[in-house]
Amino acid sequence: MFTGKFGVELECYGVDRQTVVLALSDAGIDAIVASYSGSNYNSWQVKTDGSISEYTGFEVVSRVLEGEAGLQEVAIVCSVLEQLGAKVNASCGMHIHHDVSAWGIQKFRNLFKRFIKFEIALDSIQPEGRRANNNRYCRSMTIAEDMINKIDACRSVSQLSELYRHNRYYKLNLQSFFRMGTIEFRNHAGTVNAGKICNYIRLTGAMVKDAENNVAIKQFARSVTVSESLDTMLSGMVRRGNINTMIANFYKQRQAKFASTQGA
């Protein structure tokens, strides 16, 4: 059972923004047309987005959602977007925000170290364009040697932000914490598929929960394969009850698919 507060940002193109808002409203979703800087998180906002290569690019930004009811709302929005013919390409991303408004530096250190440990696994379930430093809007969290010690040396969230140059274009965006009290996961490729989105909300939510519960992070004692890294991450989440085996199998199959088509 997923219980956290969260939000999503879906980048896509091919439909007029007003058409999207009207269709969402017809489906019972409170939605408005907004500018790029719009900040009404009581409603779904359909915004402009200049990072998308198509001139009809737009971004659908959720209201603050919570738990299973929030996931069901995401599924409704995705169904509307698919019915309208919304498209994605390599310039599109899907971003997830999780509420961490009550966190201090220790929990952020936990999350960042966990993400770095499993970054190769998380990369392997995304297209090539979202891996390593292949995308300037979601750069690798490993920006220097000995990152774990550098993160442990941070005594405040501001120091951790300074380590990442106060820049939001990393796979984990800490800057959203200072504006909205969230941590943003930026590494997922663009999609309007409800299954992919809801699974990733649960997966990233499991990472957040582990950080919040101070689950120990042991770095790998030896070099591991991508598959070993993913298996370790998923089996731990299943064992702690944060995801189920269906989600774990979904990501194992996703990794295998990308490995077979891209030689990952």
Residues 208-213 have a mean pLDDT of 98
Residue 111 lies in a domain: yes
Residue 217 lies in a domain: yes
What integer pLDDT is reported at residue 186 of this predicted model? Answer: 98
Residue 13 lies in a domain: no
Q: What DSSP line would sit under 17-45, residue for residue?
A: HHHHHHHHHHTT--EEEE-TT---TTSEE
CA dihedral of residues 132, 166, 157, 61 (deg, nearest 10): -70
Residues 96/206, Cβ–Cβ less than 8 Å: no
Residues 203-218 have a mean pLDDT of 97
pLDDT (tens digit, 9 = 90+) per residue, 101-124?
A: 999 999 999 999 999 999 999 999
Residue 167 lies in a domain: no
Residue 46 lies in a domain: no
Beta bridge partners of 182: 99
Q: How close are the terminal C-alpha atoms of the chain, in Å?
A: 32
Distances (CA, A) of 64 to 50, 182, 205: 23, 11, 15
Residue 263 lies in a domain: yes
Give the mean pLDDT of the chain: 96
Residue 260 lies in a domain: yes
Alpha helices in the chain (DSSP H): 17-26, 67-84, 105-117, 119-124, 147-152, 157-163, 175-180, 194-212, 226-239, 245-262
What is the band of 257 on the pLDDT scale with cuts at 50, 70, 90? very high
Q: Which residues form the domain of 200?
A: 103-135+144-160+192-264
CA 211 to chain CA centroid, Å, is 16
Residue 81 lies in a domain: no
Residues 191/216, Cβ–Cβ less than 8 Å: no
pLDDT (tens digit, 9 = 90+) per residue, 22-49?
A: 999 999 999 999 998 899 999 999 999 9
Q: How many domains does the chain have?
A: 1
What integer pLDDT is reported at residue 262 of this predicted model? Answer: 62
Residues 140-155 have a mean pLDDT of 96
Rounded CA separation 92/57 (Å) = 9
pLDDT (tens digit, 9 = 90+) per residue, 222-231?
A: 999 999 999 9
**SS3 state of residue 59:** strand
Rounded CA separation 19/21 (Å) = 5
